[in-house]
Structure 1
Amino acid sequence: MLIYKDKTKPTEERVDHLLGLMTLEEKVGQLIQPFGWQAYEHRDGVITLTENFKQQIEQAGIGSLYGMLRADPWTGVTLANGLSAKQGAEAVNEVQRYAMEHSRLGIPILIGEECSHGHMAIGATVFPVPLSLGSSWNVDLYREICRAVALETRSQGGAVTYSPVLDVVRDPRWGRTEECFGEDAYLISELAVASVEGLQGESLDSQSSVAATVKHFVGYGSSEGGRNAGPVHMGWRELHEVDLLPFKKAIEAGAASVMPAYNEIDGVPCTTNTQLLEDILRQAWDFDGLIITDCGAIEMLAAGHDVAEDGLDAAVQAISAGIDMEMSGEMFSKHLVEAVEMNRLDTSVIDRAVRRVLTLKFRLGLFEQPFADPERAQEVIGCEEHQQLARQMAGESIILLKNEGNLLPLSTTSGTLAVIGPNADAGYNQLGDYTSPQERSKVTTVLGGILSRLAQEPERVLYAPGCRIKGDSKEGFAAAISCAEQADAIVMVVGGSSARDFGEGSIDLKTGASKVTEHSWSDMDCGEGIDRLSLELSGVQLELIQEIYKLGKPVIVVYINGRPVTEPWIDEHAHAILEAWYPGQEGGHAVADILFGDVNPSGRLTISIPKHVGQLPVYYNGKRSRGKRYLEEDSQPRYPFGFGLSYTNFSYSAVTVEPEVIAADETATVTVEVKNIGEREGSEVVQLYISDIASKVTRPAQELKGFSKIKLAPGESRTVEFKVGAEQLQYIGTDYQPVVEPGAFKIRVGRQVNDTLSADLYVREDSYGTN
């Protein structure tokens, strides 16, 4: 038996042997990742491999395929021509079989898929978007969801996922805000670790695990003007303390792969930034995994950043800086062999990259088990258990922003409800970007959830869309107002849409019925590449709400959206407001669960919501020196970080720090007593913030350094405990190394960043040191 095929041999020995057998062309082949949906054709239930794919395999092989199971308008894969759960696994098996039987060395292909909030294949479970996932503050539940995503993906043959997204959002006008967990690096770090643990499981070669690719490395959420892939203006201290922190924690948790960001930092594109890729990632953090570009990032070096003369120069720069694989594969496949022949590139650089690709394949067990199990895929993808997880997460993520006069929860026994708004019954609008085509029956809208909850009395529910997300048409206003006039309370479901053109056609604004038109209507005002000047509602949605409000009836606003909405009139006039973000396929059930009190809202904001877009940036952990106020308005957000109401009330008392004085390498214990003083069971997110009173460099006014989500029955109290030590107290010092300075710290514990109790902690003068 050949050494590289002997699973009893150490991985390093297998890699060395296989690498020694490969030609230059075969090595380069391992570094490219063409689009996977172009590798096959599906007609009348028959899957055939394309001639182009076969030629690539026979000539030099292919290292990886991107998005072979992905379905959306970009890929052109639809419900009509796409693959079922079983067919997807069978297609992967066809690809693997051909690659192993028709290439000289029989190297299996790495199948890479998008899974930011669910496996992006037809039939897979669509969980809430990451902004919603973060709003749950439930790390354990998120880890469980990642296990479900990994199972669905690996069951079809996907072995690596391009998630989690660990970008820290600084400007929510950015269209990809929905793909991120929020604005706080500590919270993102906790979710990053949970994601890696959930996706990768106990062993990468398990048939229920996938390799996690953390992205976008780094600073992508801090782009100039909130414009996608724009320049990032950030000092190295902030980069280390904030944007790099979640990635560092993910690498420490064992993340197998990293994707550099499109953006530049201080004039250097991340794709070729050796200070990031080599000095920090490889040397300081000891990362030995795979680095893969984002799609088209190498070409962007020559046509966008303009730091390369041409494609060949761009390819040489990228692989020399530490890139191992190119998503899309265009630049590497065209230029790397030529670069070696022209003496522009040493083969040792290619060998280094190939070694990392092969190592990951061996770690994933692809040489022993390259094939998927179609029957298992059919069984687990979109299963009932995962649907329940999606519903639970959506319920825990929805944030109650306002509840005037305890209007909510609504009665389940009396009263007529008017459900109005463009997102009331628009399934795709509640799913978010990076979502596959859906069977209508798989997605429960808010209207559907309410009807399901009141199934015995459907006549109590009236519906009218009123308007679209975008556009200035008010032709649906009259029908919506008529509908509202007949109701006792109105649920206005408004917000945004990241739904790309799935060919669903338009909607009749007077009846709410779907209608087929020559051109399908796109309401997309959020998602990748859709950045905005404003955070106001698009179109005439605000005008619709204002007209409905004139009826003098209770108005409940439910936001379905991918970024914060800034509408002062709604904040002041609506009687109740729910922020649901994009809550996934079970979102309608979750909203209904909240509206009727079956679930007590426990979501908390992970991103500050400003009063006005002119306040941006308004993230909570700004510097003390950031200034006081504007002429027209103060600098405080409408709803602060960590904010969220409940149907019950919680009291905080007896905050203690023990001991009150510690050395830099010691730990103090912070405790607080939390009691449910209301009449309903509920969950509270207890949040720990720390302020460094004085430091050699400027510091944020306060920073989140711990949280705990607890469930309490009426009258029940619990002592919540946090540990505070070097990791919570340190910052990046004047020498760019972590340091715990002696002096005073303020420990704050409470329900949100601006509502806390405090106690003092002191680090002794004689304990100065680095950690």
Structure 2
Amino acid sequence: MNVYKIIPALVAIFFFLACAKKEEYLFRDTSLPIEQRVEDLVSRLTLEEKVLQMASTTPAIERLGIPPYDWQNECLHGVGKLAEYKVTVYPQPIGMAATWDENSILKMADYTAEEGRAVYNDTSAKKKFGSYYGLTYWSPNINIFRDPRWGRGHETFGEDPYLTGTLGKAFVRGLQGDDPDYLKASACAKHYAVHSGPESLRHEFNTEVSTYDLWDTYLTSFKDLVVDAKVTGIMCAYNAYAGRPCCGNDLLMIDILRNKWKFTGYVTSDCGAIDDFYTYHKTHPDTISAAVDAVMHGTDLDCIRDIAFKTLVEAVKQGRIEERKIDEAVKRLFTIRFRLGFFDPQDKVKYSNITIDALDRQEHKDHALKMAQQSIVLLKNENQTLPLRKNLRKIAVVGPNATTEIGLLGNYHGYPSKIVNLLEGIRRKVSPQTEVYYQKMVDYIDIDSFVSEDRRDEFTYNGNTGYYAEYYNNLDFSGTALSELQKDIDLSYMGETEIAKGIKSTSFSVRYTTLFRPKETKVQTLNIDTDKRIKLIINNEVKIDALEGKTKPNGLYTSTFEKGKEYKIVIEAVMKGRHGKLFFNLGRIENPSLNSLAMGVKDADVIIFAGGISPELEGEQNGVDCEGFQDGDRTTIKLPKIQTMLLKELKKTGKPVVFVMMTGSAIAIDWEDKNLPAILNAWYGGQSAGTAIADVLFGDYNPSGRLPVTFYKDDKDLPPFTDYSMKDRTYRYFKGESLYSFGHGLSYTTFAYDNLQVPEKVTTTGTISVKVNVTNTGQRDGEEVIQLYISHLLEDNHNLVRSLKGFKRIALKKGESQSVEFVLTPKDISRWNDSGEQTVSPGNIQLSIGGCQPEKKFEGTNKFLIKTIKIEGNKNKLVSN
């Protein structure tokens, strides 16, 4: 054989194979447009491979070198969920909204994306591809907080469409970044649309609203994020709208989102929402019909529960859907992954060099503290009770939120390296000579009658201190358990995470076994603190049995336990839902009167009551059933009565009582407002909330937060929870007298407004320049939030009182003045009509500008200025794209 004749042939073959290889992986050619690369990749997939890429947890496509990817992640107020990484936790979104500072939110989102990239880069290098490692974040929640009873309202930016849209756009821009080639992370606006409780009905509820309310309230912020901020993802809601499930709704998904707004990003279902089509809504006969309809309406991704989209392969084979519709969905999904740089060399993606050193770094911690400070709203400050002196002789700190951590972290939270609670913040702040006395006194809805004792060494298993834990990845203790010895029973989680390896928090059962050997004979109480179903067994005898739901899980068991005897204790718990807790300890029951508790602190110079509610009570369909709360929602907006009862007793001491309220929603505190000298609303303030609150209490930070929701006086002020009409809802339509208005917030200084400059008249196509002078007339430096509202003085204004159309946060030193200008466009002075059209009509509008709404109680003050402007010309119909 002539080797010299063979070599040219081999070279030709090698060249052919090299070219073929290059052609095969055309989608990896970074010089090509993303559209062409995506087209090439999808063309190489089988139908089965395409469908598997439409589930939130996608498998690898090994023959093409594509790794697995999990779409599900959260960054509601910092990178969420992963306990294995220490990240920065900012205030809950309702608290961020109280900052009225879009620049702070943009920076927060940018820092969050940086930390998210650090986690993604680290886990990718370690070949870890599970949930909450990716860069497709299902945040922000921009639903309108129309009713304070909704348990998830604290995930939102409040009740106003303009404020929500403005802050939401800042969040998206910060998270997605400004790189022309790559997304820093992908944001997803949820839940589209007309979604805000009740939680117990969310899988089956059908919302019916007028076309006017749909456009004027429920779609406005979504349009802002899609059209203006170019958000890359949308999550369609569980509920139905006008008889059709949102994820398969002609009007919402096709007419508006894809056609009018030209949305080109991806749509994911809420988790299990496609299965709701046939299980709850009953609009579809079976899984395959639901899956086909969802994809035909532009839902690209099925967040896994029962994996409805797995039927799409059979649907194509049966001719019920064309494969090109599958291709469209998969192309949108891969476009996001390409825009994130997943298939490009690391040296081309500038975000690929972010390391875990970015996590919870000092700059991020500082910003979390700043936002917590900005979010605090001073609701009342009679006779300048605040700020307090740091050298007081004795300060009493009482109440259920003084030492809380979950009440600072909120929900969908991450895990910071350090959490500062209120008690710690106060102790750090005061002089060394000041005594800071703490006693919880009451829980959220009950008196705190259980007194725990540290008796850990009396509980052993096989000679070792602790408890033998058996975790099951199901609800019936079946199959093989993951077992381990634990020193304590101390379990708390919010959202979906891993309790132990392979054990998902949303659905598991656990059994703890220990041997109790008392060191003395006496009456003792075993306390199982939980919000789930439990069983307590002592020496093979059942003492508490609430596993079947026949009784509520009363976790207190009191009996005489004798020295020298052994008691085998077994605790079983069924933990179903997104949130849960399970703690066990030993102690005694005491039943002191509220009066005796209050009189115990009468020698203090000031009493700080840390009360309110908790994200353990209000949240996402959490199964809680107790006084005032039902499955995550609230059944009353009143402060839990045990807290008001204690506050009444504390007032009798004659000492000033400062109420620090932590909450994610508006609370009716009419008695407290009339009888307590100072009230702060601190929301769920994040990892540095304790420091921030102490800064405000003692005057190191001048409070500047403003309410993003209306605080009503009573339940009777609210329409039925299930009524989605905006009549008498939010400050925009409420005709009654509120306790604290949207936009309300006090300061330790005062601000005055003068020299308002606006035109007397303007055309329907023109802009309006609004200038005003703002002066700090007090004795402290401070920040003011200037608010601009308009009211249409027309008969057909749909009972709209007024609407926010501009705001600015400025800092002024004492005695300093600043001129501020707003420019209103035709869009700002337009109105939606009953046909879903946005128009500017001739007539008069009333404009007000100041530090609050123009309410009667502030008339005659210099808190705001009002001017009427005449609009002239022909009706101007705005083009809505």
TM over 0.5: yes
Distance 2:628 2:372 in 1: 20
Match of 1:484 in 2: 601
Which of 572, 579, 596 aligns to 2:674? It is 572
- C-alpha displacement at 1:567, in angstroms? 2.3
Match of 2:118 in 1: 155
Which of 850, 870, 875 aligns to 1:762? It is 870
Which of 119, 122, 139 aligns to 2:79? It is 119
* 1:235-246 equivalence runs, <5 A: 235-246=210-221
Q: Secondary structure at the match of 2:827?
A: helix
Match of 1:42 in 2: none
* 1:307-456 equivalence runs, <5 A: 307-328=283-304, 330-368=306-344, 376-436=354-414, 442-454=418-430, 456=432
CA contact (8 A) 1:496 1:524 kept: no
* 1:255-334 equivalence runs, <5 A: 255-328=231-304, 330-334=306-310
* 1:627-638 equivalence runs, <5 A: 635-638=736-739
Q: Are 2:116 and 1:15 aligned?
A: no
Which of 743, 749, 771 aligns to 2:849? It is 749
Deviates more, 1:424-433 or 1:134-143: 424-433
* 1:34-113 equivalence runs, <5 A: 34=57, 62=59, 99=60, 102-106=62-66, 109=69, 111-113=71-73
Match of 1:90 in 2: none
CA contact (8 A) 1:424 1:445 kept: yes
Distance 1:349 1:624 in 2: 37
Which of 608, 615, 618 aligns to 2:710? It is 608
Match of 1:714 in 2: 814
Match of 2:472 in 1: none
Name stretches of at least 5 consecutive residues in structure 1 with no aligned partner.
35-60, 63-98, 502-520, 628-632
Deviates more, 1:134-143 or 1:726-735: 726-735
Which of 111, 117, 141 aligns to 1:165? It is 141
Which of 586, 592, 605 aligns to 2:694? It is 592
Q: Secondary structure at the match of 2:773?
A: strand
- C-alpha displacement at 1:617, in angstroms? 5.0
Q: Secondary structure at the match of 1:330?
A: coil
Q: Secondary structure at the match of 1:216?
A: strand
- C-alpha displacement at 1:452, in angstroms? 0.9
CA contact (8 A) 1:687 1:707 kept: yes
- C-alpha displacement at 1:768, in angstroms? 4.4
Match of 1:656 in 2: 757
CA contact (8 A) 1:139 1:194 kept: yes
Distance 1:421 1:669 in 2: 49
Which of 770, 785, 789 aligns to 1:689? It is 789
- C-alpha displacement at 1:522, in angstroms? 8.7
Q: Are 2:223 and 1:248 aligned?
A: yes
- C-alpha displacement at 1:499, in angstroms? 3.5
Q: Are 2:827 and 1:727 aligned?
A: yes
- C-alpha displacement at 1:526, in angstroms? 9.9
Q: Secondary structure at the match of 2:206?
A: coil
Q: Secondary structure at the match of 2:269?
A: coil
Cα distance per residue 1:232-274 (max 9 Å; x no partner):
2311221112211111111121100100111222222211112
Q: Structure 1 residues 352, 332: closer, same or farther in 2, change over 3 A?
A: farther
What amino acid maps onto 2:408 in structure 1? Q
Q: Structure 1 residues 139, 626: closer, same or farther in 2, change over 3 A?
A: closer
Q: Structure 1 residues 529, 205: closer, same or farther in 2, change over 3 A?
A: farther
Which of 55, 77, 91 aligns to 1:32? It is 55
CA contact (8 A) 1:624 1:700 kept: no
Q: Structure 1 residues 113, 624: closer, same or farther in 2, change over 3 A?
A: closer
Cα distance per residue 1:130-169 (max 9 Å; x no partner):
0000000011011100101111112111311111111111
What amino acid maps onto 1:145 in structure 2? M
Task: Please give the TM-score of this superposition, normalised by the length of structure 2.
Answer: 0.73
Match of 2:636 in 1: 534
Which of 94, 98, 104 aligns to 1:141? It is 104
Q: Structure 1 residues 4, 634: closer, same or farther in 2, change over 3 A?
A: closer
Q: Structure 1 residues 329, 399: closer, same or farther in 2, change over 3 A?
A: same
Match of 1:463 in 2: 438
Cα distance per residue 1:182-215 (max 9 Å; x no partner):
11000111101101110001138658x2100011
Q: Are 2:784 and 1:680 aligned?
A: no
Cα distance per residue 1:671-700 (max 9 Å; x no partner):
112111110011111110011111545251
Q: Secondary structure at the match of 1:191?
A: helix
Distance 2:66 2:642 in 1: 59
Q: Structure 1 residues 734, 233: closer, same or farther in 2, change over 3 A?
A: closer
CA contact (8 A) 2:77 2:89 kept: yes
Distance 1:186 1:685 in 2: 15
Task: Please give the TM-score of this superposition, normalised by the length of structure 1.
Answer: 0.83
Q: Structure 1 residues 524, 604: closer, same or farther in 2, change over 3 A?
A: farther
What amino acid maps onto 2:713 in structure 1? K
Distance 1:586 1:323 in 2: 39
Cα distance per residue 1:46-68 (max 9 Å; x no partner):
xxxxxxxxxxxxxxx53xxxxxx
Cα distance per residue 1:541-581 (max 9 Å; x no partner):
22221211111110000001111111221111111000011
- C-alpha displacement at 1:709, in angstroms? 0.8
Name whichever structure is richer in helix by fraction.
1
- C-alpha displacement at 1:764, in angstroms? 1.1
Q: Secondary structure at the match of 2:166?
A: helix
Q: Structure 1 residues 348, 767: closer, same or farther in 2, change over 3 A?
A: closer
Which of 15, 27, 34 aligns to 1:4? It is 27
Q: Secondary structure at the match of 1:300?
A: helix
CA contact (8 A) 1:114 1:163 kept: yes
Which of 498, 506, 528 aligns to 2:615? It is 498
In the comparison of the two structures, how many residue pairs are matched? Answer: 676
Cα distance per residue 1:441-492 (max 9 Å; x no partner):
x1111101001112633x4211011111133555464784355223100000
What amino acid maps onto 1:19 in structure 2? V
Q: Structure 1 residues 419, 473: closer, same or farther in 2, change over 3 A?
A: closer
Which of 174, 183, 190 aligns to 1:198? It is 174
Distance 1:375 1:732 in 2: 47
CA contact (8 A) 1:176 1:529 kept: no
Name whichever structure is richer in strand by fraction.
2
* 1:518-557 equivalence runs, <5 A: 529-538=631-640, 540-557=642-659
CA contact (8 A) 2:144 2:159 kept: yes
Q: Secondary structure at the match of 2:270?
A: coil
* 1:207-218 equivalence runs, <5 A: 209-218=184-193
CA contact (8 A) 2:764 2:873 kept: no
Distance 1:417 1:403 in 2: 18
